[in-house]
Amino acid sequence: MIHAEGVAEVTDTTFDAEVGGSGLPVLVEFTADWCGPCRQLAPVLSAIAREEAGRLKVVQIDVDRNPETASRFAVLSMPTLMVFKGGEPVKSMVGARPKRRLLQELEDVLPAVV
In the residue annotation, 35 being an active-site residue is answered as yes
What pTM, to 2 d.p., does this model score?
A: 0.95
Q: Write down the catalytic residue from 4, 7, 19, 35.
A: 35
In the residue annotation, 103 being an active-site residue is answered as no
Residue 92 CA to its chain's centroid (Å): 10
Domains (ranges, CATH) in the chain? 8-109 (3.40.30.10)
CA dist., res. 27 & res. 85, Å (int): 9
Q: Write down the catalytic residue from 19, 38, 83, 102.
A: 38
CA dist., res. 15 & res. 75, Å (int): 15
Residues 6+ apart with CB under 8 A from 53: none
Q: In this structure, what DSSP letter does residue 4 have?
A: P
Q: Which of 99, 3, 97 is nearest to 52 (CA)?
A: 99
Q: What is the pLDDT along the chain (114 residues), one digit of tens a residue?
A: 678 888 999 999 999 999 999 999 999 999 999 999 999 999 999 999 999 999 999 999 999 999 999 999 999 999 999 999 999 999 999 999 999 999 999 999 998 766
Region of 14 please: left (phi>0), alpha (psi -120 to 50) or beta.
alpha
